[in-house]
Amino acid sequence: MPRSVLTFTDLEKIATGGEVSVPSGALITALASDEAVRRSITIKFTAPSTESGSESSGSTRGRAVAIGADHGGYELKEQLKRHLADWSYTVIDLGTSSTEPVDYPDFAEAVANAVASGKTWRGVVIDSAGIGSAIAANKVPGARAALCYDRATARNSREHNDANVIAFGARLIPAEVAREILALWLDTPFAGGRHQRRIDKIKAIEDRNRTP
């Protein structure tokens, strides 16, 4: 089936000199592009998928994505900002603006609030390990932040958990890996079904524990 994000891992299944089909306008990650050239794989563009119930690339481009990081995540934030702009998302940068030491909860909260309030569609938070930013973001009712470090965690967080904030550990993964993970995460729809019941229970926990 044609897909809207093509990564290096996808090409591992394609024989040298072979062909792979992707929808017109699909995102081809840099690693995938280099691998296609190296192994003479032809990337064929087809009409985009219109499968009902999915968030197609065309329907999500242009939506606002909030991004924030502390000093440990600043450089990765700057790189991911450029990729988001290249993918035609509206980028809302909530800081920090340098590598001067700051506190990650401030920026994670700002991003989570932007998403939970509906000001932005999704959010990205970054610090050195990603753990602290994920914890802080999840203190905001309505934010569901997931620390992702590979394709599997990114896909699961969207399909099963309807995560609306992704957390990265800038010192734990290379920038190009973060780029691939982010592309996949943004493109993966929530599966709904039995998973919706579980999301509803998460929301109920938030409601029961709101400060009077």
Task: Provide the total of helices (H) and of strands (E) in the chain, helices listed first.
Answer: 9, 9
Calculate the alpha carbon distances from 184 to 59, 88, 154, 181 in Å: 15, 15, 7, 5
Cα–Cα distance, 143 to 183 (Å, whole number): 20
Secondary structure (DSSP) of 16-68: TT-EEEEETT-EE-HHHHHHHHHTT-EEEEEPPP--TTS--HHHHTT-EEEEE
Cα dist from 48 to 31, 87, 103, whole Å? 22, 16, 42
Cα 73 to Cα 128: distance, rounded to the nearest angstrom: 6
Catalytic residues: 160
Under 8 Å between Cβ of 65 and 93: no
